[in-house]
Amino acid sequence: MARIAEAAGVSKATVSRALGGSSLIGGPVVSHVKAVAEKMGYVRRNQRRHSERSILTIKLVLPPSTSRTANLFYSLFDLVDGLREGLSPSGTNIIVETAGKDYVPFPHKKGGEVDAFVFAFHRPPAAVFEEIKERGVNCLVLNRVVRGVRQVVSDHRDAMRQVAEHLSSKGVAGNCCFVGYRGIEDVMRMRVQGFTEGCAANGITFEAKEDVWIADSPEEIKCETIKAEYERGVRVFVGVNDVVGSLLIQQLHELGYKIPHDILVTGCDNSPLCDVTIPRLTTVDLSIRTLAMRAGRNLHAGIVDGVESEQSILVRGELLIGETT
């Protein structure tokens, strides 16, 4: 296998998948590898490797280090542990890297024995995906939508529909403000859409054009604007995520408002911030561990079992009622 990889200019992992009949390898790569193998006199043995003995190498690529708030949204332990669980019973070597504008997926000539890339919570440049595809290596994106790339995504719309239904059960009929910020447009769009749908289904008056506040960054969610919204009649602040929800709680405390007596606040994600926010934030648990586990199962099905895996997987969250509603 090493000799075929050397002659074909690919990694041993690519040779293994190409000769093993994996449906996830591109046709041109498979044809090239098989032609080289045949020329060298390769004869396949009809003996399947047991999945229990497989050891997979996965590159887990995290958001760029310039993303100041990225570590507030997830636990790295849950991310890695969920991925390992999903890839079992195979053993797993997980290489953790940080992305950037100059990220190189294969820093060495042959790329090493990499079975798959998992890009978590960010979208790398198209050129990165093209290089991975050319090498015949599996690729999956976690919690982002990228056309033509397999993805495991939280059901953002359903999460916010759950929030709207909960607010309705608390007697809310309107006076809501959805708060988000720039730079997370995909998530913002889906969560605003979900909250709008939830409000319509539960009789809550909400107009996305008038009742959505988009700050330039989380740091721009300040007391002045919050007070102006309160004076406008807003009595419910719906944070696009727990970072916003926690900031809203902090600023409302500074303004002297009582939560939930004067105003209700919600977040979304059930991020580590919820463990230190007082009062405890009402949120939706979009479990990172579950997300990673589903990603691992998807990869294992394709790499080890040779099963055509799903292109897009939607993972539903669970409402967690805290003390802010």
Q: What is the DSSP string of 201-269?
A: HTT----HHHHEEEESSGGG--HHHHHHHHHTT--EEEESSHHHHHHHHHHHHHHT--TTTT-EEE-SB
Same fold, 1-48 and 156-285: no
Separation of alpha carbons 182 and 199, rounded Å: 23
Domain ranges of the chain: 1-48, 51-153+290-314, 156-285
- The span from the CA of 172 to the CA of 235, in Å, is 9
The two structure tokens encoding residue 137: 């290596």
Q: Scan for tokens 């709207």, then name that residue.
A: 164
**What does the pLDDT look like over 119-148, one tens digit per residue?**
998 888 999 999 998 888 899 999 888 888
Which pLDDT does position 71 carry in this prediction? Answer: 63
Q: 1-48: which CATH architecture?
A: Orthogonal Bundle (1.10)
Radius of gyration of the chain (CA): 23
Burial bucket for residue 85 (CB in 10 Å: 0-12, 13-18, 19+) = middle
DSSP structure string for 166-182: HHHHTT--S-EEEEEET
Topology at the third CATH level for domain 156-285: Rossmann fold (3.40.50)
User: What pLDDT band is residue 70 in, cutting at 50, 70 and 90?
Assistant: low
Mean pLDDT of the chain: 88
pTM of the shown model = 0.77
Give the rounded percent of residues in the chain with a pLDDT score beyond 90. Answer: 58
Q: Comparing C-alpha atoms, which of 14, 92, 20 is closest to residue 293?
A: 92
| Phi, psi for 33 (deg, rounded to 5) | -65, -45
Q: Is 130 helix (H, G, I), strand (E, B) or coil?
A: helix
**Residue of 175, 288, 208 whose CA lies nearest to 241:** 288
Give mean pLDDT, residues 195-199: 98
pLDDT at 27 over 50: yes
Averaged pLDDT for residues 46-64: 71
Query: Residue 215 contacts by C-beta under 8 Å, 6 or more apart in sequence?
Result: 179, 180, 181, 182, 221, 225
Q: Is 306 left (phi over 0), alpha (psi -120 to 50) or beta?
A: left
Identify the residue with better confidence: 259 or 309. Answer: 259
Residues facing 177 on adjacent strands: 237
Query: What pLDDT shows up at residue 46?
Result: 44
Condensed to tens digits (0 to 9), the pLDDT of residues 232-291 reads 999 999 999 999 999 999 999 999 999 999 999 999 999 888 888 999 999 999 999 999
Q: Give the least confident one: 45-54, 95-104, 305-314.
A: 45-54
Measured CA distances, 278 to 236, 241, 248 (Å): 17, 16, 11
pLDDT attached to residue 109: 60
**pLDDT surpasses 80 at 38:** yes
Which one of 107-116, 131-140, 160-169 scores highest in mean pLDDT?
160-169
Distance of CA 169 to the CA centre of its chain: 30
At residue 293 the predicted structure's pLDDT band, cuts being 50, 70 and 90, is: very high
Q: Which CATH number does 51-153+290-314 carry?
A: 3.40.50.2300
Number of other CB atoms surrounding residue 27 within 10 Å: 7
Mean pLDDT in residue range 9-34: 78
